[in-house]
Amino acid sequence: MQTFVIIKVIVISTLLATVAGTAAAQDKVLNLYSSRHYQTDEALYSGFTKATGIRINRIEAGEDALIERIRNEGARSPADVLVTVDAGRLWRAEQLGFFQPVKSALLEQRIAASFREPSGLWFGFSLRARLIAYNKAKVKPGEFATYESLAEPKWKGRVCMRSSSNIYNLSLMGALVEHLGEAKAEAWAKGVKENLARDPRGGDTDQLKSVASGECDLTISNQYYYARLGRSGKPEDRAVFEKLGVVFPNQARFGTHVNISGAGVMKHSPNREAAVKFLEYLASDVAQRYFAEGNNEWPAVAGLKTANPVLSALGEFKRDALNVAVLGRNQPGAQKIYDRVAWK
């Protein structure tokens, strides 16, 4: 009888340990809200789970839809991490009180201060630069060297651009306000608007195709749209790519405008430890290379080499050292400038 009791106790203890272990395994989750819509990011998520054992529950939607969802969920939100593109959007989420500060020696060591919010509310993990793209048959590279060049009268009727409400253009204007002052930044916007070949419409890829087709001669685009055309298996995309040249603007002064794709830990995160681990994983060499080789973005970690042939061919360039948090801070004023010059 005594032996039976001992065995029974051992069995019960084993069962309890198994249940506890299963519960612990089930607790190893991360609830991720993401507005990044790139299929190549699947490797990021599976890589994190493989490295940590933490399963990712993911909700993907547009930036505005995610922000509205989080606002409606309030303190009951299950979200642990918000991932989005452009410092301007991270700033918007910050202003709504979505994030909590993260203190991580690893993140501070890996991510340069200019690519993260100063108090640790959010961090940039990949870089995108706004290049000037031109039609090689109609424009010589030496004819321009700066963003300001696009406002010169000689380009009248030769420029294509996106809408002024586009976050990329708002952030670019935010940087120009910081570097040139509001008056000169507004003069630039007025000059570019007067040089437009058509009303602003479409995304960056549409602008590049318009330049290649001859509808206009110059545009501004994030580099990964250009690189995507160059790495495409579609002959029509390659044909567009072959007609384009690109220039890193403002190399003689403050450098080319750069922005980020980034993330922050949510204020009411139920899995904070997993959330911080995810941010730290995004700063790892393997994750940084996914950004570069999967979506043609530069790593945020300095000095990391990648195997992306188009990015490698672009070479090194002087990057604007402005802290990207400023781009969000200047966003409301940037929109007012565009509105004053009637840039649609």
Give one DSSP letter per residue of 290-323, joined into a string. Answer: HHHHHH-PEESBTT-----HHHHHH---PBP-S-
| Domain CATH code at residue 224 | 3.40.190.10
pLDDT at 307 over 70: yes
Residues 21 and 118 in one domain: yes
Residues 138 and 105 in one domain: no
Residues 210 and 122 in one domain: no
Mean pLDDT score of the chain:
91
Check residue 61 and report its DSSP letter.
Answer: -
Tokens of residue 282, six digits = 């995004």
Cα separation, 305 vs 286, in Å, equals 11
pLDDT at 200 over 60: yes
Domain that holds residue 295: 2-127+259-307
Residues 14 and 144 in one domain: no
Contacts of 91 (CB under 8 A, 6+ apart): 325, 327, 328, 329, 331
- 203 and 162 Cβ atoms separated by less than 8 Å: yes
Q: Is residue 318 part of a domain?
A: no
Residues 54 and 166 in one domain: no
Tokens of residue 178, six digits = 């910081």
Residues 92 and 114 in one domain: yes
Q: Is residue 98 part of a domain?
A: yes
Which is more confident, 5 or 183? 183
Residues 98 and 227 in one domain: no
Cα separation, 10 vs 255, in Å, equals 68
Residues 235 and 276 in one domain: no
Q: Is residue 313 part of a domain?
A: no
pLDDT at 4 over 70: no
Residue showing tokens 């110059």: 218
Residues 15 and 66 in one domain: yes
Range of lowest pLDDT (123-132, 214-223, 284-293): 284-293
Cα separation, 78 vs 92, in Å, equals 20
Cα separation, 220 vs 159, in Å, equals 9
Q: Is residue 30 part of a domain?
A: yes
Cα separation, 172 vs 259, in Å, equals 9
pLDDT at 11 over 80: no
Taking residues 139-150, report their average pLDDT.
94
pLDDT value, residue 36: 86
- When divided into structural domains, the chain yields a total of 2
Q: Is the dihedral of CA 203, 248, 36, 70 positive or negative?
A: negative
pLDDT at 319 over 80: yes
Q: Is residue 300 part of a domain?
A: yes
Q: Is residue 189 part of a domain?
A: yes
Q: Is the dihedral of CA 304, 306, 311, 313 positive or negative?
A: positive
Residues 207 and 333 in one domain: yes
What are the φ/ψ torsions at residue 263 (nearest 5 degrees)?
-155, 160
Q: Is residue 316 part of a domain?
A: no
Residues 245 and 293 in one domain: no
Residues 333 and 214 in one domain: yes
Task: Give 12-65 pLDDT, tens digit per residue.
Answer: 333 333 333 333 344 599 999 999 877 778 888 999 999 999 999 999 999 889
Q: Is residue 60 part of a domain?
A: yes
pLDDT over 90, % of the chain: 85
Q: From the centroid of its chain, how far is CA 82?
A: 12
